[in-house]
Structure 1
Amino acid sequence: MLSNIIAWLFATFAIAPLQAEIERYAAAANLPVEIVQQSRTCLSSQVPLLVQRASEDSYWTVSTIVGVATGWSDPADLLDKNNPACADIIGLIKTKSADAT
């Protein structure tokens, strides 16, 4: 039961902001449909892995939730840089974050 609560908190406070950030950047940049579809593919492959890790490692989960919610951690760091579906999205988020500072 506790792992279900932790997974829900993680999905609410880490995954949802990540997805919102990807969609915000995609809309702002008028990205082609292929990139938007690629971001969905990335998230569909990464979210189950992240939720599994969240249910197994409560310290990582809490620190990730706090980091993402406060802006100390970049949500793009949750994505697998070696996943080809995620590489372009990570680059886009990192570029936009660098431009904002």
Structure 2
Amino acid sequence: MISNLIASLFATFALNPLQAEIERHAAATGQPIEIVRQSQACLSSQIPLLVQRTSEDTVWTITTVIGVSTGWSNPVDLLDKNNPACATVIGLFKNAAIET
């Protein structure tokens, strides 16, 4: 019961902002809609792992939710840099950081 609540809070305050941030970066840089599709593929591969971690590590979950929701943490850091489905999305954020 508590793990479901924590997973729900994590999705609301960490995963949803991550998807919104990806879409915002893609639109701001004029990237094709393919980036959004790739981000959805990336998130669909990462969400089960992140939800499992939320149920196993409450402290990580709470600090991640607080960090992402306050802007202290970058939601892209939740993505696995070794996951090929996430490479394009992570690259999008790296390029956006270099340009600013």
- What is the TM-score when the length of structure 1 is the normalising length? 0.90
Deviations 1:33-80 (A, max 9, x none): 332221111011011111111111100000100111111111000000
**Structure 1, unaligned stretches of length 5 or more?**
none
Q: Distance in 1 between matches of 2:98 and 2:8?
A: 30
The one-letter code of the counterpart of 1:14 is A
Q: Distance in 2 between matches of 1:55 and 1:41?
A: 22
**Structure 2, unaligned stretches of length 5 or more?**
none
How many residues are paired up?
100
| Residues 1:64 and 2:68 are matched in the alignment | no
Q: Distance in 1 between matches of 2:29 and 2:43?
A: 19
Q: Distance in 1 between matches of 2:45 and 2:87?
A: 13
Q: Distance in 2 between matches of 1:99 and 1:76?
A: 17
Give the fraction of aligned pairs with identical amino acids, expressed as a percent: 67
The structural deviation recorded for 1:30 is: 2.0
Mean Cα displacement is larger for which, 58-67 or 89-98?
A: 89-98
Measured on the aligned residues, the alpha-carbon RMSD in Å equals 1.3
Question: Do 1:13 and 1:69's aligned partners in 2 also have CA atoms closer than 8 Å?
Answer: yes
User: Structure 1: which 4+ aligned runs deviate by more than 6 Å?
Assistant: none
